Amino acid sequence: MTELNVSAIQRFSTGDGPGIRTTVFLKGCNLRCPWCHNPENIRPEPQTLEYKNAGKTVSYGRMMTVDEVFADVMEDADFYRAGGGGVTLGGGEPLLQAEAAAVLLRQLKEADVSTLIDTAGCVPWGKLEAVADVTDMFYFDYKTGDDAKYRTVIGGDRALVFDNLKRLIGLGRNVHVRIPLIPGFNMSEEDCGKICADLGGIGVTHVDLLPFHRLGTSKYEALGLEYAYKNEKPSEPEIIQSIRSFYSRYFVTSTE
């Protein structure tokens, strides 16, 4: 019986791809981005968030069969088809469960439901290859062009991520490259230049810029964790515009 480690299933999402979507958040991540706004999805085991000020608890994480997940998300199939939406797999890192995810995605494709994977791409190529033919769109984070920062700050392998992105684009897949704009990490001209140099050489033509926000702050408190960015303010609009202007020299850009 094929199972997925599901953190939560979010209906009527408008921020995880085109149209009205249902997002299946899968639990577990192999990166440790200190700005992560979904900290409840990092560890694979079930967790309970205690919102003491609100007097409530919320639990995340349970094993579900692929058939159970499919039945759940298909309850909104009419909304997907009417609004140009579909189902998104996010996380955490959904490709850590690529084999089971591929079974779900194949069922969705056979049911004529649009599919999207939101990934950081720091997995062996075989994980991406397993889902490539049953995924209509990839949201692919590219966080930095600096090997040392990727390794020491977020615990990943930039060269692996870059190679995976290059190979996925080479297959002709619909890939949307997304760049989180993190103060003190990747917003300097040097950092932006490195990212542009990487992406410009592999056929990327469009990038989505994602300004930093602190919407996950309460989750860290509810988990009893210290949030490294709790005192970091969102960047001023003129700074974001300046960075967008820089990227616009090389790519079509959008911001969220």
Is 90 exceeded by the pLDDT of residue 188? yes
The DSSP bridge partners found for residue 118 are: 139
Its pTM stands at: 0.96
Region 134-157 average pLDDT: 98
What does the pLDDT read at residue 14?
Answer: 83
Strand ordering across the sheet containing 86-90: 62-65, 3-13, 21-26, 86-90, 114-119, 137-141, 175-181, 206-211, 252-255
The DSSP bridge partners found for residue 115 are: 87
Distance CA(12)–CA(30), nearest Å, equals 28
| Percent of the chain predicted with pLDDT > 90 | 95
User: Is residue 245 within a helix (H) or strand (E), and if so which, with residue range?
Assistant: helix 237-247
Is 90 exceeded by the pLDDT of residue 184? yes
Phi then psi for residue 217, to 5 deg, are -55, -45
123: Cβ contacts below 8 Å, ≥ 6 apart: 30, 93, 95, 96, 98, 160, 164
Region 151-168 average pLDDT: 98
- Ramachandran category for residue 173: left, alpha or beta (phi over 0 → left; psi -120 to 50 → alpha): beta
What does the pLDDT read at residue 161?
Answer: 98
Question: Tens digit of pLDDT for each residue in 60-104?
Answer: 999 999 999 999 999 999 999 888 999 999 999 999 999 999 999
- Helix axis angle, 66-73 relative to 98-110, nearest 10°? 40
> What is the DSSP pairing of strand 62-65 with strand 114-119?
unpaired
What does the pLDDT read at residue 143?
Answer: 98
**CATH numbers and ranges of domains, the chain:** 3-255 (3.20.20.70)
Question: Quick one: pLDDT band at residue 53, thresholds 50, 70, 90?
Answer: confident
Give yes or no for a contact between 91 and 28, defined as CB atoms under 8 angstroms apart: yes
Region 122-149 average pLDDT: 98
The DSSP secondary-structure symbol of 150 reads: H
